[in-house]
């Protein structure tokens, strides 16, 4: 049976790279995004034949949308083995300028997407007895953030807690749930948040002296998706160049 992965927010950026690495490792990958046209273009770019990719329009704030997306993947490939909850909204509004409405929208979507993905897809995986779920957290959720907004940082910190809760729920049924907390990655999101004239200063403050590699995160997900990764659950993988050490 083909291994199958579903990646949210995969039309571009980090999600696209993660999907690319999963595909390279032999997975069939559902490219989901609220931007359906973008998802279709990404799917074609990754696999022009369409045999091992599927574009899905997915509003991660909607439980029915997750259920419909899961149904579409099962309809094409008959299984889902890996879920990467990557979709998120990023805002850099200064702390004292964040409105209550903006705070609610950022925290609500970023947490709701994780909750619904784990709940809907995780329940399916628990029924089948196997699954690997990855929730994209962030260094910002551990150190309070630097280039990102307080609402984004707060939501990413809470994702670590949700990860532990779902890991406990599914541990006895063959499903692992882990979080990945990257520091600054060489990605469109980071380059959009950090002006070019500040990039040098950012890199000089990272102990290893450079931005992280998105492809490495994808390969890490591949490694932790194997059957032999059953003992790794409820953890947060810190990939941050030495900016945060436990």
Q: pLDDT digit string (tens) for 5-27?
A: 999 999 999 999 999 999 999 99
Q: Who's near 190: CB < 8 A, 6+ residues apart?
A: 147, 184, 211
**What pLDDT, on a 0 to 100 scale, did the predictor assign at position 204?**
86
Write down the pLDDT at residue 28: 98
Position 153 pLDDT exceeds 80: yes
On the 0-12 / 13-18 / 19+ scale of CB atoms within 10 A, 228 is exposed
| Beta carbons of 117 and 62 less than 8 angstroms apart | no
**Whole-angstrom distance, CA of residue 118 vs CA of residue 160:** 13
**pTM score of the predicted model:** 0.95
Residue 193's pLDDT is 67
- Domain residue ranges of the chain, discontinuous segments joined by +: 4-239
Percent of the chain residues past pLDDT 90, beyond the cut: 86
- Known catalytic membership, residue 124: no
Say whether pLDDT at 130 is over 70.
Answer: yes
Please say if the pLDDT value at position 187 is more than 80. Answer: no
Asked if 85 and 113 count as a contact pair (C-beta separation under 8 A), the reply is: yes
Examine the residue annotation and report whether 156 is marked as an active-site residue of this protein.
yes
Residue range 181-191: average pLDDT?
A: 83
Q: Residue 196 pLDDT > 90, yes or no?
A: no
Question: pLDDT confidence of 212, banded at 50, 70, 90?
Answer: very high
Q: Which phi and psi angles does 133 have, rounded to 5°?
A: -115, 135
pLDDT tops 80 at residue 221:
yes
**Please, is 243 exposed, middle or buried when counting C-beta atoms within 10 Å of its C-beta (0-12, 13-18, 19+)?**
middle
pLDDT tens per residue across span 108-121: 999 999 999 999 99
pLDDT, tens digit, for every residue of 39-69? 999 999 999 999 999 999 999 999 999 999 9
Q: Please check the confidence at residue 191 and state whether its pLDDT lies above 80.
A: no
Q: Which one of 27, 45, 152, 168 is the catalytic residue?
A: 152
Catalytic hit among 156, 164, 168, 230? 156
| Whole-angstrom distance, CA of residue 184 vs CA of residue 110 | 18
Residue-level pLDDT at 242: 94
Q: What is the CATH number of domain 4-239?
A: 3.40.50.720
């Amino acid at each position: 049976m083909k291994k199958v992965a579903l990646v949210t927010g995969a039309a571009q950026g980090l999600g696209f790279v993660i999907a690319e690495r999963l595909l390279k490792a032999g997975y069939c990958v559902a490219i989901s995004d609220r931007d359906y046209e973008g998802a279709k273009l990404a799917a074609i770019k990754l696999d022009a034949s369409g045999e091992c990719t599927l574009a899905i329009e997915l509003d991660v704030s909607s439980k029915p949308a997750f259920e419909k997306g899961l149904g579409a993947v099962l309809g094409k490939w008959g299984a889902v083995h890996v879920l990467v909850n990557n979709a998120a909204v990023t805002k850099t509004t200064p702390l004292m300028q964040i409105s209550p409405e903006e705070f609610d929208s950022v925290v609500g979507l970023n947490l709701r997407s994780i909750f619904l993905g784990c709940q809907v897809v995780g329940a399916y995986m628990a029924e089948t007895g196997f699954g690997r779920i990855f929730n994209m957290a962030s260094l910002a959720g551990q150190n309070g953030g630097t280039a990102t907004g307080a609402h984004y940082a707060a939501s990413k910190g809470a994702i670590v807690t949700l990860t532990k809760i779902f890991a406990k729920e599914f541990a006895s049924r063959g499903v692992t749930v882990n979080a990945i907390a990257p520091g600054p990655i060489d990605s469109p999101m980071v380059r959009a948040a950090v002006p070019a004239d500040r990039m040098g200063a950012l890199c000089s403050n990272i102990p290893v002296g450079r931005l992280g590699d998105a492809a490495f995160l994808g390969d890490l997900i591949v490694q932790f998706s194997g059957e032999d990764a059953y003992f790794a659950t409820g953890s947060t993988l810190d990939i941050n160049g030495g900016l945060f050490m436990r």
